[in-house]
Structure formats: C-alpha cells, structure tokens
C-alpha cells in the first residue's frame, strides 16, 4: 500500500531547540494528522488539519496543511526531554489513513 514520505527519519537535537519535520505525498488528502508514539504504547493524536493552507497550534506544536493538499509539516518549539518519541504523519481519505514511516526524535538534555 501507499506510504507517505516523511523526513527526517531521525533527529538528535539539543534541549530548547526548535524542530521541524514534514510529509509529502503524490496523492491529495482531505485531512492531515500528526501523532506521537511513545515506546510500547499506541499513537496519540497531536494535531488534525482539515483545510488546505490551515495552520494549527497545540501548545508548542504547530502544523500546517499544504496548499496543494499533498504535504504537511510539524514544528515543535523549545524542545524538552519529554518530546522524545516517534512522530507520525497520516493522510486521511474517507475513513482510511495512510501513514508515514515516522520521525524518531531524541533530545539531548
């Protein structure tokens, strides 16, 4: 099945730095979602984007739905140790989700 192109694959950043990751697709999606997964747990929804061009924030997290509807980015400002984990983008079409392979975030304290 189709997967999204998510980058970077992993990041190792200093605490307090800003982080940026993105997803691209060759197909259009109606909704973009960003999830965070901690080890041994299920993904938790961070942000949902419903309209092309939409920019949405959730605390230190900001995500945008690309104008072409084929891409999205997630920014994390002033990273802290609890930001570590795997971040997944997902494009939604109807009831079905297509996931990126994930971005592993590691933070140096």
Partner 1 sequence: DGGITQSPKYLFRKEGQNVTLSCEQNLNHDAMYWYRQDPGQGLRLIYYSQIVNDFQKGDIAEGYSVSREKKESFPLTVTSAQKNPTAFYLCASSGRPRTGVGNQPQHFGDGTRLSIL
Bridge partners of 16, per DSSP, are none
Token digits of residue 21:
């990751």
Applying CB under 8 A, the span of 39-47, 55-63, 66-74, 77-85 interacting with partner 1 comes to 39-47
The residue from 13, 48, 52, 84 that contacts partner 1 (CB under 8 A) is: 48
The residue from 20, 30, 62, 77 that contacts partner 1 (CB under 8 A) is: 30
DSSP codes joined into one string, 21-87: EEEE-SS--SEEEEEEE-TTS--EEEEEE-STT-EEEETTEEEEE-TTSSEEEEEE-S--GGG-EEE
The residue from 17, 18, 28, 44 that contacts partner 1 (CB under 8 A) is: 44
CA dist 77 and 27 (Å) reads 29
Residue 75 interacting with partner 1 (CB under 8 A): no
Applying CB under 8 A, the span of 28-36, 54-62, 63-71, 75-83 interacting with partner 1 comes to 28-36
Tell me how far CA of residue 67 lies from CA of 12, 37, 42, 94, 101, in angstroms: 29, 27, 30, 19, 22
The residue from 16, 17, 28, 50 that contacts partner 1 (CB under 8 A) is: 50
Interface residues with partner 1 (CB under 8 A) are: 1, 3-4, 6, 30-31, 33, 35, 40-45, 48, 50, 88, 90, 92, 94-97, 99-102
């Amino acid at each position: 099945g189709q997967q999204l192109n998510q980058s970077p694959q992993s990041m190792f950043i200093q605490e307090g730095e800003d982080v940026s990751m993105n997803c691209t697709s060759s197909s259009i999606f109606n909704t973009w979602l960003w999830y965070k997964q901690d080890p041994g747990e299920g993904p938790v929804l961070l942000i949902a984007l419903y309209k092309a061009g939409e920019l949405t924030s959730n605390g230190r997290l900001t995500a945008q739905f690309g104008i072409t509807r084929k891409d999205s980015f997630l920014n994390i400002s002033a990273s802290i140790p609890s930001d570590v984990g795997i971040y997944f983008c997902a494009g939604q079409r109807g009831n079905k989700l297509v996931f990126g392979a994930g971005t592993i975030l590691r933070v140096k304290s």
